[in-house]
Chains A and B, each alone.
Chain A
Amino acid sequence: MTTPVSAPFPTSRAGIVELARELYEDLDMGSVRAWLAEAPGRHAAGYLPVYVPREVIHAAGMLPVGIHGGGSMEIIRGDAYYQSYICHLPRSVVELGLTGRLDMLSAMLFPSTCDVIRNLSGMWQILKPDVYVRYVDLPHANHPERAVEFWKGELQHLVTDLSAITGRIVDDDALRASITVYNEMRGLIEEMFEIRRRSPWQIPTEELYLLLRAGELLPVERWNLLARGYLAATQAEPGRSRDNARVVVVGAFCEQPPLGLIKTIERAGCYIVDDDLLLGNRMIRGPVSLEGDPLQALSRGLLHQGRKSSVFYEPDPLGKGRLMAERVEAAEADGIIFAAPSFCDPALLDRPMLRAGAEAAGIPCIAFKYAENSGQFQQFREQAGTFSDSIKLWVGTRAEQMLRQAAAPAGGAK
């Protein structure tokens, strides 16, 4: 894929964040339409959370477009398709679809995140008969090598179908080229996460999130440029540390919380140092191999370098119990905020196992539910603020504990 001819990106941090915010707020996805209009014969493929192999979409010559609902948009028609006890995301996706906002998409991919998204794939087949619809059945790693074989077959199926839409022959070189640009993206995201982990005041989660959302809409080559620009700008403006608790936000991998909720958590005294937001773009840890069969490599990437998630079966009987402690340790966090969308089966069914593991490891936790259109943040502010205060008062942040340890006499206090 060639990089589209577009206006240069802003270079200042504020300018980059503002651009990302405009993309985030544009429910008509003007950037996607503009990209399609730039050259005849272009195609775009939408995908729902949590994970789809964007490399394959890209190699087929399509623009991958993340469909993450409508935020706080007014839902008029979408509610007529869902009972009150089903989460909010599919309502706003249907609303986007029925109001023509997704009409520029030639394909829609629905990964096996949960039964609601699964059934939405069938609804889309009926509501949008002219659009290519694929239910993407993700592999489960009970036996990773068998799952690699299955997933490779699913990837091949996608390659065949998507290349039939675009008319582009997808050979190994095309796939390797796509893996290469997505490896670059993965590397940049990991770099941003690492900076946030080390110094969360340098990359606030609100900004990081907006950047990642931009990555769900822009061509990957363009986003990589934008991300490099952002990283350079943050070096110039490192920001100032505050006396905040460090938290991991767990459970927000599908229906996304409103941006206001993310800001509220941070403003209430919690630095988010790891999270599940837009998890799909870092589902594979590290670069995918460029050696050998690229579909095999992509498949092995997901099965052998995949992040643990509620979407996948956990083959390790102790895995759920350990996961929170591992994440808290890796992020050097003080506590966990379980933040799940209302009626989210994957997040809410997992929560008792994850929370039990966290509590057994002595990790402070709080939990709440949200919807993508939650408009009142007072209760979240109070919960997060109290949580941060309680960590600082009763447990001590990790930084304070380290200071105390350093100050203690050798051999420990008697």
Chain B
Amino acid sequence: MKKDRSMELQKEMIGAHFKRLERAPETGEKVVYTFVPGNLTELIRSFGALPLLPEINALQSGMRGKSKGYIAEAEKAGHSADVCTYVKADIGMLMSGNIGPTGTKLPPPDLLLLSYTGCYTFMKWFELLREQYKCPTVFLQVPYQGDGRLAPEHRAYMEKQLREDVIPALEQITGRAYDPEKLKANLALSAQAEEDLVAVLNSAKQKPSPIDSYFGAVYYVGPIFSAFRGTPEGVEYYRALREEVEERNAAGIGPETPSGRLDDQKFRIVVEGPPNWTSFREFWQMFSDEGAVVVASTYTKVGGTYDYGFRHDPGDPLGTMADYCGGCYTNHNLPDRIDMLVDYIREYEADGFLINSVKSCNSFSAGQLLILREVEKRTGIPGGFIESDLVDPRYFSAANIKNRLESYFQMLRERRAGGVAVTPAGGEVRP
């Protein structure tokens, strides 16, 4: 598959970051493990510390064919077959020498920053890592938006925890004083990158779409979801990515896919749920071979719902971090998630929507069958439902998934041939 320039740039950035992480024990740079949803990269960086995200390591292990062995190690050590495979891939990697996705040895954490955002498992994950690393842990409770909004008192609670728990913990491990000006500067860089990312995601409203907003966009969100939000490298990456996508858009061409450049886009699809990482390319090709392009996805919002207008605000550093954490996709209640999918189907003029339900992630998966029904009811668009896992290859049945996808796209074709059109508003119209 032909690689975009931005992919090469990202590879260099990530490679350099992991080299720096590997050298951290010698250079004395402090390492903070944290999670993608609710990550506080700008704050961590403002103390000169390096973020490291175990979910990213786990998914990279999945893509590089390592996760199967790691999961087996963890299960041999007593971790249940029933629980999240990200956790087991991470624990297994640790048990196997902690060699990270780029082949470099990962440093132990100086601090586990448990930003408890939208996922119960996060809490257990870091309790488990704490048993291994015996390092300090700081806990940030991010209240869930059960009522569909971030209540002012919840925002205030998070600000207080940031001020009185998280910042002192970072001061303690780095030996540096909190520098609000540095944080503000980082947040300003974040906002610039976020603006460019949203322009990239919105480009999928064009026909043909110059991007794939699921398989392609997981690369696009990589830097902003991980170590590069609030950095000059992040700003540079998103500027380059935006230019690249705008060029494609101006030329009226589609994204590179495993089936080649996808200009002839037969189906515009919205996807809910994380991808499978162990057979990522094969999974993508099941879409691209059918001429299906994903125009919007919810997974690419787990690290922030920027397309709904949120930007980090340097004028209110702690408040904006609270807003950010509260607004990550899996911290929204089910009715909100349904609204988001309905919005996407309408705004991106989608022909269909698919749910990839992953065994590992109850935060995403519990309730998805109701989401399917409700979105179908409200849009008149038929949904598809497939099941796999994040990084456990035992739960990716290629033949079964391909069969389901082929049937689904066949149904969309017949629907179209039968004269069932879809209005831009998403409502079904029969002639």
Closest residue of chain A to B332 (Cβ to Cβ) is A122
Does B124 interact with chain A (Cβ within 8 Å)?
A: yes
B144: chain A residues at CB < 8 Å are: 112, 118, 135, 137
Quick one: CB contact mask for A124-135 with B, threshold 8 Å, 1 for yes? 011100000011
Least CB distance from B360 to A in Å reads: 9
| A83, B335: Cβ atoms closer than 8 Å | no
Residues of B within 8 A of A165 (CB): none
Contact of A123 among B124, B131, B141, B334 (CB under 8 A): B334
Q: Are A126 and B124 in contact, CB atoms less than 8 angstroms apart?
A: no
Q: Which residues of A contact B119 (CB under 8 A)?
A: 115
Q: How large is the interface on B (under 10, 10 to 19, 20 to 34, 35 or more residues)?
A: 35 or more
Q: A123-B370, A146-B160, A349-B128 are in contact. Are A86 and B362 (CB under 8 A)?
A: yes
Query: Is A355 within 8 A of B370, CB to CB?
Result: no
Cross-chain contact A317 with B116 (CB below 8 angstroms): no
Interface string of B139-151 (1 = CB under 8 A from A): 1010110110000
- B161 interface contact, C-beta 8 A: yes
Question: Shortest CB–CB separation between residue B129 and chain A, in angstroms?
Answer: 11
Q: List the B side residues contacting A116 at CB < 8 Å.
A: 362, 366
A143 cross-chain contacts in B, Cβ below 8 A = 161, 164-165
Given A122-B333, A143-B164, A352-B79 in contact, is the A320-B131 Cβ separation under 8 Å? yes
9-residue interface stretch from B18-26, B80-88, B277-285, B295-303: B80-88
Contact of A126 (CB < 8 Å), options: B84, B114, B121, B370: B370
Say whether A137 contacts B146, CB under 8 Å. Answer: yes
A140 contacts partner chain B, Cβ-Cβ < 8 Å = yes
Neighbouring A residues of B125 by C-beta, 8 Å? 349
- Asked if A199 is at the interface of the complex by the 8 Å CB criterion, the answer is no
In the assembled complex, B398 has its CB within 8 A of some CB on chain A: no
B309 interface hit (Cβ, 8 Å): no
Residues in A128-176 with C-beta less than 8 Å from chain B: 134-135, 137, 139-140, 142-143, 146-147, 149-150, 153
Q: Which of A335-389 contact B (CB under 8 A)?
A: 342-346, 348-353, 355-356, 369
B131 touches A356 (CB 8 A): yes
Chain A residues positioned under 8 Å from B161 (CB to CB): 142-143, 146
Provide the residues of chain A in CB contact with B374, threshold 8 Å: 126
Known: A115-B120, A123-B367, A349-B87. A342 touches B146 (CB 8 A): no
Q: How far is the CB of A145 from chain B (nearest CB, A)?
A: 10
> How far, in whole Å, are A119 and B368 apart by their CA atoms in the complex?
9
Chain B positions within 8 Å of A80 at CB level: 369
The answer to whether A351 and B80 touch across the interface, beta carbons within 8 angstroms, is: yes
A115-B366, A355-B78 are known contacts. Are A349 and B124 too (CB-CB below 8 A)?
yes
Q: Please pick, from A122, A134, A142, the residue contacting B165 in the complex, using a CB distance under 8 A.
A: A142
Q: Assess whether A238 is interfacial by the CB under 8 Å rule.
A: no
Per the bound structure, the CA–CA distance linking A126 and B373 in Å amounts to: 11
Once bound together, how far apart are the Cα atoms of A81 and B370, in whole Å?
6
A9: Cβ under 8 A from any B Cβ? no
Q: Which of A140, A310, A345 has the most CB of B within 10 A?
A: A345
Evaluate whether A346 and B120 lie within 8 angstroms (CB atoms) in the complex, with A123-B370, A134-B146 already known: yes
**Residues of chain B contacted by A352 (CB below 8 angstroms):** 77-79, 128
For A127, the closest partner residue in chain B by CB is B370
A35 → B minimal CB distance (Å): 28
Q: What CA separation (Å) do A289 and B334 show in the bound complex?
A: 37
B127 at the interface (CB under 8 A from A): yes
Residues of A within 8 A of B239 (CB): none
A118-B120 contact, Cβ under 8 Å, with A125-B333, A142-B138: yes
Tell whether, in the assembled complex, residue A345 and residue B367 are in contact, meaning their CB atoms are under 8 Å apart. Answer: no
- B135's nearest neighbour on chain A, judged by CB, is A317
Asked if residues B116 and A82 are in contact (CB atoms below 8 Å), the reply is: no
Task: With A83-B365, A112-B144, A348-B80 as known contacts, state yes or no: A314 contacts B387, CB within 8 Å.
Answer: no
Q: B124 touches which one: A119, A122, A142, A345 (CB < 8 A)?
A: A345
Mask of B83-97 contacts with A, CB within 8 angstroms, 1/0: 110010000000000
- With A81-B370, A123-B367, A321-B131 in contact, do A349 and B83 touch (Cβ < 8 Å)? yes
Q: Are A353 and B333 in contact (CB under 8 A)?
A: no
B153 at the interface (CB under 8 A from A): yes
For A71-99 the 0/1 string (1 means CB < 8 A from B) is: 00000000011110110001000000000
A126 near B362 with CB under 8 A, answer no
**Chain A: residues with CB nearer than 8 A to chain B?**
80-83, 85-86, 90, 110, 112, 114-116, 118-123, 125-127, 134-135, 137, 139-140, 142-143, 146-147, 149-150, 153, 310, 313-315, 317, 320-321, 342-346, 348-353, 355-356, 369
15 contacts between A and B (CB under 8 A): A82-B369, A83-B359, A83-B369, A119-B366, A122-B335, A125-B333, A125-B335, A135-B146, A142-B161, A146-B161, A313-B114, A345-B362, A349-B121, A352-B77, A356-B131
- Chain B interfacial positions (CB closer than 8 Å to A): 77-80, 82-84, 87, 114, 116, 119-121, 123-125, 127-128, 130-131, 134, 137-139, 141, 143-144, 146-147, 153, 157, 160-161, 164-165, 333-335, 337-338, 357, 359, 362-363, 365-370, 374, 387
Task: Given contacts A112-B120, A114-B120, list 20 more A-B pairs with CB under 8 A.
Answer: A82-B366, A83-B369, A118-B366, A119-B334, A119-B366, A120-B366, A122-B146, A122-B335, A123-B367, A123-B370, A125-B333, A137-B146, A140-B116, A142-B138, A143-B164, A146-B161, A150-B157, A153-B153, A345-B124, A356-B131
A-B interface, 5 closest residue pairs, ranked by CB to CB distance from nearest:
A122-B334, A135-B146, A349-B124, A142-B139, A348-B80
